[in-house]
Amino acid sequence: MEDPAETGMESRDLPAVFRRSRAKIWLRTGILTVFGILFGLTLYHDIVFGPFRLLWAIALIAIALPIGFWMRKLVPMQVHTPSGYVTLSFDRIYFALIVVLVVIKALATSLLHVTLLADGAMCVILGLMIGRLSGICLRVHALKPDQTLPKS
């Protein structure tokens, strides 16, 4: 991405939404990291000591990855061409899906005591999050203006 100073635009001259879009990707990465650590530790425990199998976890994540990658298309994005910034908007469908899966996981763990369902929900959440974040990063990269051309 071009330096805003090279385009004649200062960072403070841009609307706040342009300055926050990079933070949105880092926020998504942070959320994925937190979920990954928490769910990863729980999955590890359930795989080692419980009825859940590593192959099942890999299969569920592998199924959810391409679905999450496809969901990148649902994220509203715009390009601000003078500055090269890409803005991201809130994706309600993905948010609702993740909330439903987290509620299913919580209910399966706390009330129903169905470890297999809880572990399956965790794997689907992780697969969706990893696939979608990867897709968003690739989509943002594709939307940015080509920076490899020499400036005239």
Q: Which two tokens stand for residue 58?
A: 């890999």
The pLDDT of residue 14: 53
Residue 39 has pLDDT above 90, yes or no: no
Partner residues linked to 87 by β-bridges:
78
Q: How far is CA 60 from CA 63, 117, 149, in A?
A: 5, 12, 42
Between 21 and 129, the more confident residue is 129
39-49 mean pLDDT:
87
Q: What is the mean pLDDT of the chain?
A: 78
The pLDDT of residue 21: 62
Query: What pLDDT digit, counting tens, does each position of 48-96 carry?
Result: 887 889 999 999 999 999 999 998 888 777 777 666 677 777 778 888 8
